Amino acid sequence: MKAILTDITKCIGCAECVNACKVINNLPPDKPREWQKNDGLSANNWTSVLSNQKYFVRKQCRHCVEPACASVCPVGALHKTEMGAVIYDKEKCLGCRYCMMACPFGIPRYDWENAVPYIKKCILCYYNIKEGKIKEPACTSACPTGATIFGERNELLAEAKRRIANEPQKYMNHIYGEKEVGGTNVLYITSKDCPLDFLFYYNHRLDKGRNLVGNPDINEPLPNTTKWAMGAVPFAFLGMGAVMTGTYWVIKRRQEQEEKKSSDNPKPDMNDLEEGGKNE
């Protein structure tokens, strides 16, 4: 299975990865949204670079080995591919946003600009690679420092271990994504003075009472938990379309009103996430 390894110590925050992703996926510029907690991800931004003054961390879908998002989707719009990418079928997506609630990393975003909204996120450049248009994701090939690289997951794990062993004084002895939530296909290594715990697990999961639980410290796959929890939610398939359309118009109006108030687009900042930012 293919994967990405991002080495925080090599990232210079140039955002070439962000730009390359927007270009290859034809993603339009974002409109500023002051009301939205902004970690840089949106329906039009599938990766972002967070900063804490000293280090930069690019954020994207982790392409979980056992994706919670796919486990809760009532119509099977998301699935894990043999390549390792977790992709989605926009034709199937109901816009119910169960995947957004289930994702432990706050990744899927809702496309509020679309008259028929559906979720969007990084797809590991699945179609472009599968069709032979590119050999690796646009973001990894654009990175000028090799901070984010593409390859076989087992080889990237070996590379991460090699770097940590060679410079134990520099690296934290942990590969983020090796075991968390059952493993992910986007791996991170980082400096000793830049722990990623809050960033890696900044979202939530649901307990059996359907309450949101922050910062779970688990190395087990989430689908069993999320399937159980989401199964307990009454779900009216037939009424969902009307509900979502109404919600869309209410939120859209609110968004337009807020956009009139401000043209500032806040810079993503890791500190914003320390209280557990939520995706909108």
Q: Give me the 208-237 binding string for ligand SF4, x by CB under 6 A, dash otherwise.
A: ------------------------------
Q: Is 95 left (phi over 0), alpha (psi -120 to 50) or beta?
A: left
Kindly report the CA angle at 52 between 137 and 191, in degrees rounded to 5?
Answer: 70
Residue 64 in contact with ligand SF4, rule: CB under 6 A: yes
Structure tokens belonging to residue 223: 């689908």
Between 124 and 199, CB nearer to ligand SF4: 124
Q: Cα(71)–Cα(223) distance, rounded to whole angstroms? A: 5
Between 5 and 172, CB nearer to ligand SF4: 5
In angstroms, what is the minimal distance from the CB of 267 to ligand SF4?
13
Tokens 């059996």 label which residue? 208
Taking contact as CB under 6 A, which single stretch among the options 28-36, 104-112, 170-178, 188-196 is the one that binds ligand SF4?
104-112
Residue type, 69: C
Residue 42 in contact with ligand SF4, rule: CB under 6 A: no
Q: Cα(70)–Cα(75) distance, rounded to whole angstroms? A: 9
Residue 3 in contact with ligand SF4, rule: CB under 6 A: no
Between 25 and 52, CB nearer to ligand SF4: 25
Burial of 239 (0-12, 13-18, 19+ CB in 10 A): exposed
Q: Cα(33)–Cα(95) distance, rounded to whole angstroms? A: 20
In angstroms, what is the minimal distance from the CB of 3 to ligand SF4?
11
Closest among 177, 137, 141 to 160, alpha carbons compared: 177
Residue 58 in contact with ligand SF4, rule: CB under 6 A: yes
Among 73, 77, 124, 206, binds ligand SF4 (CB under 6 A): 124
- For strands 109-110 and 212-214, give the pairing: unpaired
Q: Cα(53)–Cα(13) distance, rounded to whole angstroms? A: 10
Between 146 and 168, CB nearer to ligand SF4: 146
Residue 68 in contact with ligand SF4, rule: CB under 6 A: yes
Burial of 226 (0-12, 13-18, 19+ CB in 10 A): buried
Residue 206 in contact with ligand SF4, rule: CB under 6 A: no
Residue 93 in contact with ligand SF4, rule: CB under 6 A: no
Residue 270 in contact with ligand SF4, rule: CB under 6 A: no
Residue 196 in contact with ligand SF4, rule: CB under 6 A: no
Catalog residues that contact ligand SF4 under the rule CB under 6 A.
11-17, 20-21, 24-25, 46-47, 49, 56, 58, 60-64, 67-69, 86, 103, 105, 107-108, 121-125, 137-139, 142-143, 145, 147-148
